[in-house]
Amino acid sequence: MSRLSLAGFMAVSALGAADPVNVWLPIEPGNTWVYEKEFLDGRMDHPRVQKWMTEETIVSVSGDVAIKRVRVIGEAAVRETTETKWLIRNNCVYPDADGSRPPEYCFPMTVGAEWSRMTNTSPAEEYVWRVDWVNGDPYGVEGGKTFHFSAHIASGTRNDRWFAEGLGLVQEIEEHHGTYEELRARLVQATIGGQVRKFDLRPARTSPRFEADCEAVGWRKFVQRDGGHFPSEISCKEYVKKQALKGR
């Protein structure tokens, strides 16, 4: 699938060069991101699938707080928050106005960087995000830098995100291992500084992290880092072992 260049977005973002956050995530009134979303559950091999779209727009920025409005296009499978307040503090973006929750993003991003570790973070490290690689898989945006980072969210649940520098979140997968549930988001259009761009990104897929992920139909669902499929359950488990030796 074709992927559009980020050159236009980077030119706009450069206007805010003095602000590291705005260079990475252009938080300015009027900027809009449209996402195609899916919620899957039931059987992993034959899941129930519900689809809808959201339009997310920065409506105001006052001091270090930005308000983002979320409009649902179509019937949503899950309840969407209609308004989000982002707090920008110390080069990080927090998902609330008082900074009581761990930050969603911290800039600049580099491979191996992590954020959201707080004084009350549990040993399970919920919401501790780590950058796994940059431009290391086929799910990003052509012509720029797309960072893949992930975090353990709760028991059995993990979140993977793909973030393009100068644009924002381009893909996201939150999946529960065990009772199968999966929430997916893929950027299809963005308006930054009045410039509209449409995207046709290759739908992201995650790789197995544990040998148990490969069991049953798991080896058919999960893929290798480069997007390649596994020929068998055994090959899937061997892949997990090799990645563990590499420390990934």
Q: Indicate whether 189 and 212 sit together in one domain.
A: no
Determine the Cα–Cα distance for residues 208 and 243; give it in Å rounded to an integer. 10
- Do both 96 and 155 map to the same domain? yes
For residue 133, being part of any structural domain is answered with: yes
Q: Which DSSP letter does residue 125 get?
A: -
pLDDT of residue 77: 66
Residue 48 covered by a domain: yes
- Give me 42's structure tokens: 């039931």
Q: Pick from 74, 152, 140, 78: which is nearest to 109 by CA?
A: 140
Residues 133 and 174 in one domain: yes
- Asked if the structure places residue 1 within a domain, the reply is no
Q: Are 203 and 188 in contact (CB under 8 A)?
A: no
Same domain, 21 and 139: yes
Q: Could you tell me if residue 128 is inside a domain?
A: yes
Q: Are 150 and 232 in the same domain?
A: no
Angle 40-42-45 from CA coordinates, rounded to 5°: 85
Which segments within 4-120 are labelled E, that is strand?
Answer: 32-42, 47-62, 65-73, 83-89, 92-94, 105-106, 114-115
Question: Which of residues 185, 203, 221 is at a domain's end?
Answer: 203
| DSSP alpha helix (H) spans, the chain | 7-13, 20-24, 218-221, 233-245
Same domain, 111 and 99: yes
**Domain of 175, in residue numbers:** 7-203
Does residue 124 register a pLDDT over 60? yes
Same domain, 19 and 118: yes
Q: What is the mean pLDDT of the chain?
A: 89
Q: What span, in angstroms and rounded, lies between the C-alpha atoms of 131 and 97?
A: 25
Pair 123, 180 in one domain: yes
Q: Are residues 153 and 231 in the same domain?
A: no
Work out the pLDDT band at 120, boundaries 50, 70, 90: confident
192 and 214 co-located in one domain: no
- pLDDT tens per residue across span 28-87: 999 999 999 999 999 998 999 999 999 999 999 999 999 999 999 977 767 788 999 999
Indicate whether 94 and 217 sit together in one domain.
no
Q: Are residues 83 and 143 in the same domain?
A: yes
How remote is the C-alpha of 27 from its chain's centroid?
Answer: 17
**Number of domain units in the chain:** 2
Q: Where does the pLDDT of residue 15 fall: very low under 50, low under 70, confident under 90, or very high at 90 and above?
A: very low
In a domain, 2, yes or no: no
First to last CA, the chain: 27
